[in-house]
Chains A and B, each alone.
Chain A
Amino acid sequence: MNNLAFATIKDLRTKLDNKEISAKELAQFFTQRFADHDSTIQSALEIFQVDSVLNASEQKGTLYGIPGLIKDNISQQDRGLTCASKILQNFTAVYDATATARLKQEGALLLGRANMDEFAMGSSGETSAYQITKNPWDTTRVPGGSSSGSAAAVAAGLVPWTLGTDTGGSVRQPAAFCNLVGIKPTYGLVSRYGIVAYGSSLDQIGVMTRTVYDNALVLSVIAGHDPKDSSSLAVAKKDYTASLDGKIPTGLRIGIVENALYADGMDNEVITAIEQAVKVLEGLGATIKRIKLPALDYSAATYFIISRAEAASNLARFDGVRYGLRDKNSASLHDMYFNTRHDGFGAEVRTRILIGNYVLSAGYADAYYENAKKVQHIMTQEFLDAYKEVDLVIMPTAPCAAFKFGAFAQDKLQMDLQDYFTCAANLTGMPAIGIPCGMTSEQLPIGLQLYGKHLSEELIYKVAHAYQEATAWHTMHAQI
């Protein structure tokens, strides 16, 4: 049975279809994996009872019988929904997120709730109010964030897929740290209905898996127009696995972003791994062009401003009145608001709310928020211009491999700069995939990203799949 732990969804589908194993047996097997290993990894905030999992989903569909885990900022009806924050400690979701509902309709088994950085604010998983998820490749290191539990669970062979959310890189950076495939779809491709908002104009649900095929399969289930989300695009559902034939399109042009690959603070082993990946893609027939995206150097700053501004607004709703924690010792409504929000939010969340309100406040909004929105426009235009010359853009996912716990405790700005290569996809609304592309000398995973123009998921998957067919990085897994 142990070979099931790191089996792909595709393999599990075959075993289910051939009646070698049942959905219930798979649910029991993976639930037991959590019982055996998650006391060390700490990826899940809760694993549900097997019978309740089986009863929650249809008995047929694309993902029938395939267990997965959902980040704890995505609603699962009548299950806990905490965003790994004390302020939502006892909250249960009133309804299913659209993504959750679609997964249940297609038979997926939703085993539990994945740990995360509190309200998805962090790049290491360390801001969770409940537990600190470990990187299965080296438990003294972070799994990345904010989708820390989602990444670690797949990397440890506890489930074959998970959902995360990606506001500035929160699916792709942990995917890179844990040797996984992670996609941030085009803004509006996956409904945000039922996710707890962080930066509403940037948030997207993303999928984490070990292979590109599996990733495309899960995205096919959750993508497509939803009238319940006003930012949802009028896109018909499609099968993103259909075009995965191991080949790249004839004449494909890929741009290397020079100012990204050779940016300050880049780890040499990451640069080498990306350069080797470029050679592989050339070998598959791609033409490589060197391009510059000057505004990219401003992406992290732009992201800090816009995401914190939107977070300050979105998190205003947590005030102890309608749900969640309330400070019971305050005599007045005013004190109750202030004390509830101090005690309910962790330090990182409080700080980001303050920054958000600062950049929006009278006297500073022009300097910060308005300029950030302009830079966002400039950056989007630079990418659109680049896509006249190339079809895809290749970049590192993170400047380094997984770092040690506490590495940035004294310099949180450096931690924030983890978003440097990833947040441009959120700011421009464009899709980007992270895939494994190497190992450091310490046997830590390295990831690359492929960026494409809006709604180019099919092309991105096709090329990423061809890369995986030509390489073996994604077949390596942590020793659990």
Chain B
Amino acid sequence: MAKISKEDVLKIAHISHITIHDNEVDALVDRLEHVLSYAARVQEIGADVKVHSMKNVNVLREDVAVPFDAQLILARAPESQEHYFVVPAILDSNK
């Protein structure tokens, strides 16, 4: 059984950029433990095998610029101004 702690869940949530509310943590611990315990069986046959893992390869093409109306894209943003996406403050001015 994979052992997952509350701290593990909160750490992964932080990496994932997702808020986790206190009342959601226990269910996530339980779900992650179940799935990861099942998924761990890949170690049974994967660990001793000397094959290269299947890495995907890049397919390259010429980098050709194609004109596109930026307003089409910006119109879909929650907030935009001229040619920019607007976001909340990155730095806290009080610190």
Contact = CB atoms under 8 A, between A and B. Distances in A.
B1 interface: no
Contacts of A305: 39, 42
A439 interface: no
A342 B12 CA distance: 14
A378 interface: yes
B34 interface: yes
Interface in A291-330: 295, 298, 300-302, 304-305, 312, 316, 319-326, 328, 330
A94 interface: yes
B77 A323 contact: yes
Given A305-B42, A342-B20, A351-B28, A412 B34 contact: yes
A435 to B, nearest CB: 29
Contacts of B20: 342
A247 interface: no
Contact of B51 (A94, A324, A372, A377): A377
A208 to B, nearest CB: 28
A368 B8 CA distance: 16
A361 B79 CA distance: 33
Given A333-B90, A377-B51, A322 B72 contact: no
A361 B40 contact: no
B54 A376 contact: yes
A357 B61 CA distance: 30
B58 to A, nearest CB: 8
A451 to B, nearest CB: 18
> How large, as a class, is the contact surface on chain B?
35 or more
Interface string B66-81: 0000001100111100
B35 A413 contact: yes
A1 interface: no
B49 A355 contact: no
Contact of A94 (B38, B49, B76): B76
A91 interface: yes
A330 B51 CA distance: 48
B38 A373 contact: no
A353 interface: yes
Contacts of A250: none
Nearest to B51: A377
> How large, as a class, is the contact surface on chain A?
35 or more
Interface in A336-383: 336-339, 341-342, 345, 347, 350-351, 353-355, 357-359, 361, 367-368, 370-378, 380
Nearest to B31: A351
Interface string B48-66: 0101111110110100000
A357 B16 CA distance: 7
Residue of B39, B90, B92 ringed by the most chain A CB atoms within 10 A: B39
Contacts of A373: 53-55
Contacts of B13: 354
A16 B43 CA distance: 57
B69 to A, nearest CB: 9
B32 A355 contact: yes
B16 A312 contact: yes
B34 A413 contact: yes
A335 B92 CA distance: 12
A416 B38 CA distance: 11
B88 A336 contact: yes
Given A336-B87, A336-B88, A378-B49, A201 B36 contact: no
A230 interface: yes
A332 interface: yes
Nearest to A345: B18
B18 A358 contact: no
A357 B11 CA distance: 10
Contacts of B8: 358
B31 A333 contact: no
Given A316-B17, A325-B78, A354-B18, A298 B41 contact: yes
Contacts of B92: 332
Interface in B1-45: 8-9, 12-13, 15-21, 24, 28, 31-32, 34-36, 38-45
Contacts of B24: 347
Given A325-B78, A336-B87, A375-B45, A413 B38 contact: yes
Given A357-B16, A378-B45, 7 more contacts: A231-B59, A305-B42, A326-B78, A333-B89, A342-B18, A354-B16, A368-B40
